[in-house]
Amino acid sequence: MPPQIPSMKLIYHPLSPYCRKSYMLAHELSLTPHITLQKVVVCPLLNYPGWSDNNADLVSAGNPLAKIPTLVITDPEAGDVAIFDSRAICETLKDIAGSTSAHGAGNEGYLDRARERTLASVADGIIDAQISITYENTLRAKKSLSMPEWIEGQIAKVHRGFNVLESDFAGTKFLSQSGGMGEAAVAVVIDCTEARSKGWDWKAGRPKLAKWWEAWRERESYKQTEPDLDWKTGEKVDLGPLPTDP
C-alpha cells in the first residue's frame, strides 16, 4: 500500500516568484488537492505597517527567517513541520509525489530529508542576514545609506535562527556528527558568527548547540577548510583585515 500523502499548507504571496515556482510544481505533481494556501505579507523590517504584518505568522509556523514560501506539513507522528526555502520545498514535493530526485525514488523517509534541507536553509538564511548586516555597517554606512531598521530586522533573523537550531535540531540526529549537508551549513554559520559578531555570545542559552560545535571543530573537514588556509596545500594565507559586526 503506497504511503499516504500528508496534509500541507503553503504560506505564500502570489507575487513571489519563489512561491509561484513551488505551487506550480505542486500542480505538475498533482499535489494541489492536498495543499491549503495561507496568503501573507512579510518584510525584512521588524515593524513596517502594511508590509511586516504577517512576520510573526511565519515565525510561529516554524520559519525563524520569516520568509516565503514556507510549507507546513502535518505528519501523524511529528506534528506540524515547517519546510523552507523554495528549493527545499520543491525537492520535498517531488519526494512526496514519488518522483525521482537526487535522493532516490519514492517518498519513504521524505520528512527526514525535508528536515535536513530545512536545517541547511536555516543556516544559509542566517549567513545571508549576517552578510546583509556587514554591508549595511560598512559599504552603505560609508555613503550614509545605512538603515538601522534593516539591521535590526536582520539581527532578529540571526537570533531566531540560532534559537531554532538549538530547539529543533541540536541534540537530534540532524546535528549528531554524522557529516551531513545540514551540519556543514551550521558549522559554517557558527564559524562566521564567531569571526564577525564579536559582541554577541551565541552560546548563551544554547548548550546543546554549543556542545555540538565543540565536537565538530575537531573534525578534519573543519580544520582543513579554515579561511586562512590554502585548501589544497594547507599553507597559511593572509586574508587581510575583515569587517566585523557589532
Output the domain CATH number for residue 102. Answer: 3.40.30.10
Residue 173: inside a domain: yes
The number of folded domains in the chain is 2
Query: Is the domain of 199 the same as that of 218?
Result: yes
Res 55: pLDDT: 87
Residue 233: inside a domain: no
Query: Is the domain of 121 the same as that of 214?
Result: yes
Q: CATH code at 178?
A: 1.20.1050.10
Query: Is the domain of 121 the same as that of 217?
Result: yes
Query: Is the domain of 18 the same as that of 105?
Result: yes
In this predicted structure, the answer to whether residue 246 has a pLDDT above a threshold of 80 is: no
Query: Is the domain of 129 the same as that of 181?
Result: yes
Full residue range of the structural domain in which residue 69 is found: 7-110
Query: Is the domain of 160 the same as that of 82?
Result: no
Query: Is the domain of 91 the same as that of 174?
Result: no
In this predicted structure, the answer to whether residue 127 has a pLDDT above a threshold of 80 is: yes
In this predicted structure, the answer to whether residue 69 has a pLDDT above a threshold of 90 is: yes
Residue 244: inside a domain: no
Query: Is the domain of 95 the same as that of 126?
Result: no
Query: Is the domain of 94 the same as that of 139?
Result: no
| DSSP H/E element including 11 | strand 7-12
Contacts of 38 (CB under 8 A, 6+ apart): 9, 10, 11, 12, 57
In this predicted structure, the answer to whether residue 100 has a pLDDT above a threshold of 50 is: no
Backbone angles phi, psi at 122, to 5 degrees: -60, -50
In this predicted structure, the answer to whether residue 18 has a pLDDT above a threshold of 90 is: yes
In this predicted structure, the answer to whether residue 216 has a pLDDT above a threshold of 60 is: yes
Tell me the Cα Rg of the chain: 19
Query: Is the domain of 105 the same as that of 124?
Result: no
pLDDT in tens, 227-244: 889 988 999 988 777 655
Res 243: pLDDT: 57
